[in-house]
Structure 1
Amino acid sequence: MTGDAGVSSIDPVAVGGEGLGVQTLRPRRTLGWSIGMTIAALALPLLAAELWLMNTRESWPVIAATASVGVVLILVAWFGYRRTRASISKYGIVEHGFFGGVSTVAARDVAGVLRVQLYRANSLDTTQELFVVERTGRGAFRMRGRFWDEPTMDRVADVLGVEETVGSEPMTLAELREANPRLLYWFERRSLTR
C-alpha cells in the first residue's frame, strides 16, 4: 500500500507454509521532502551570499564546493530516509534507522505497547507517541507521531500479539521523564532547565 503516510506491506512473507507474517512499516512519505527542503533552505542563503560578496571569477571553486556540499547533504538525507523502516512480526522487531543502525527486539522480550499523547514544546498541540516496552521496563522501539501515522501505529500491538495501553491524558515530556524515564532516549532523560 502506498500513500502520504508511507509504504507498508501486510502480506506475509512466504517461507514455507503460512509465512512469517512480516509487516514492513515506513515513515511518512512527506518526511523525505521536509528533510531535503530544510537542508536546501539552509544551503541556498549561503550560496546567495557567496555569489553576492565574492568575485565569481576568482572564487568559483568556493562556490562550487559549497553547492557540492549542499547537494551531498541532501542526497545523504534522502538515502537515510529511504532506508528507514521497521519490520514487525510475531517474532519481534527489526528496525533500520535513519543513520544506518539496525536494532532487533525479540518478541519474547516485549512486555507491551504504550501509546501516549505528548505535548509539543511550547504548544498546546500534541503528537501520538508509541513505545514498545521490554520486560525490564526499558523502551525498546519508539514511533513518533511526527514521523509515523496512526494507522501504522495501530498495527504494532496486533502484529506483536501483545497488549496495548493508551494513556488517558496528554502529558508533557517532563511528566513522562518523571513517570518513566527509561522509555526516553538518553538525551531526553535530562532536563536543560535544571
Structure 2
Amino acid sequence: MSAAMETRSGDAGDSSIEAAAPGGEGLRVITLRPSRTLGRSVGLPIAVLTVPVLAAVLWLVDPVEAWPLIAVATVAVLAVIFTAWVGYRRANASISRYGIVERGFFGGVSTVAGRDIAGVLRVQLYRGNSLDTSQELFVVDRTGRGAFRMRGRFWDGPTMDRVAEVLGVDETAGSEPMTLADLRESNPRLLYWFERRSLSR
C-alpha cells in the first residue's frame, strides 16, 4: 500500500505534498523547486548573447591563429552555462514540521531544525527604484536571524501560504511595503551578508 500523494506544478516550479504514513495524514513534506519559466527567461538570453560575442572575437582576431583560443573560450562558456543550469534544476527546499532541508544553487545542503524556528515573516519589498513590490518570506530562528528565505520571483503566494502551516509556527505579515533600506535598518539579521551594507555609504 502506498502513501497518498498530491503533486502540483505551475509557474512557481514543481512542488509536492505527501503523507508518509499510509491510512493517515502522516508527515507532510512540501518540496519546492525554482520556477522553470524563470530559468528559461534568464538562462536562454544569456546563452544566446554568447554567440554574437564569440562571433565578434572571431571577426576581430586572425581566425587561423586564434581558433584554439576561441575553441577553448567556447567550451568554457558552454561548461559554465551547463553547470549553472544543472545547479538551478537541482536546487530545492523540503519543508516539514521537523524543519527545512535546503539544497542550494551551488549544491550545498543546509538544514534548520523545527525546534529552532520561531516564526515566519512576510513582507512586501519594493524592487529597486520602482513602485513595484515583490513578496518576501523569511523563516526566522529563535535568535532573530533569517534561517530561510523565499523570494516572490521564485515562488508564488499560494506556495508561501503553506510554509507556516506545515512548520507549525505563527506567521506575521508586514502592514506596509518597505524598501531594502527600511528592512536593513529594522531587521538586518534577516538579510544576506552582502545586503546588510548600503552601497551609497
TM-score normalised over the length of structure 2: 0.90
Is the contact between residue 35 and residue 77 of structure 1 (CA under 8 Å) also seen in structure 2?
no
CA–CA separation in structure 2 for the residues paired with 1:189 and 1:54: 44
Q: CA deviation at 1:151?
A: 1.7
Classify the secondary structure of the residue corresponding to 2:41: helix
CA–CA separation in structure 1 for the residues paired with 2:156 and 2:98: 23
State yes or no: 1:162 paired with 2:169. Answer: yes
Question: What are the superposed Cα offsets for residues 44-82 of structure 1, whole Å, 9 maximum, x if unpaired?
Answer: 232021121123232221221121112111101111101
Classify the secondary structure of the residue corresponding to 1:59: helix
- Paired residue for 1:23? 30
Stretch of structure 1 that moved more, 49-58 or 8-17: 8-17
Cα RMSD for the two superposed structures:
1.8
State yes or no: 1:34 paired with 2:37. Answer: no
Q: 1:138 to 1:129 in 2, by over 3 A?
A: same
Classify the secondary structure of the residue corresponding to 2:12: coil
In the alignment, residue 9 of structure 1 is paired with which amino acid?
S
CA–CA separation in structure 1 for the residues paired with 2:72 and 2:153: 33
CA–CA separation in structure 2 for the residues paired with 1:176 and 1:138: 13
In the alignment, residue 75 of structure 1 is paired with which amino acid?
F
Q: CA deviation at 1:154?
A: 1.1
Q: CA deviation at 1:155?
A: 0.9
Q: CA deviation at 1:110?
A: 0.7
CA–CA separation in structure 2 for the residues paired with 1:189 and 1:179: 11
Q: CA deviation at 1:152?
A: 1.4
Q: 1:85 aligns with which of 69, 79, 92?
A: 92
Question: What are the superposed Cα offsets for residues 77-96 of structure 1, whole Å, 9 maximum, x if unpaired?
Answer: 11110111000001000011
Is the contact between residue 18 and residue 27 of structure 2 (CA under 8 Å) also seen in structure 1?
no
State yes or no: 1:153 paired with 2:160. Answer: yes
| Amino-acid identity (%) | 73
Q: 2:129 aligns with which of 122, 129, 146?
A: 122
Classify the secondary structure of the residue corresponding to 2:19: coil
Q: CA deviation at 1:36?
A: 2.0
Q: 1:50 aligns with which of 37, 47, 57?
A: 57
Classify the secondary structure of the residue corresponding to 2:160: helix
Higher share of residues assigned strand: 2
- Paired residue for 2:15? 8
Which residues of structure 2 form unaligned runs of 5+?
1-7
- Paired residue for 1:142? 149
Is the contact between residue 113 and residue 165 of structure 1 (CA under 8 Å) also seen in structure 2?
yes
CA–CA separation in structure 1 for the residues paired with 2:146 and 2:126: 19
State yes or no: 1:179 paired with 2:186. Answer: yes
Q: 1:165 to 1:115 in 2, by over 3 A?
A: same
In the alignment, residue 154 of structure 1 is paired with which amino acid?
D
Moved over 3 A (4+): 13-19
CA–CA separation in structure 1 for the residues paired with 2:125 and 2:24: 42
Q: CA deviation at 1:14?
A: 4.4
In the alignment, residue 70 of structure 2 is paired with which amino acid?
I
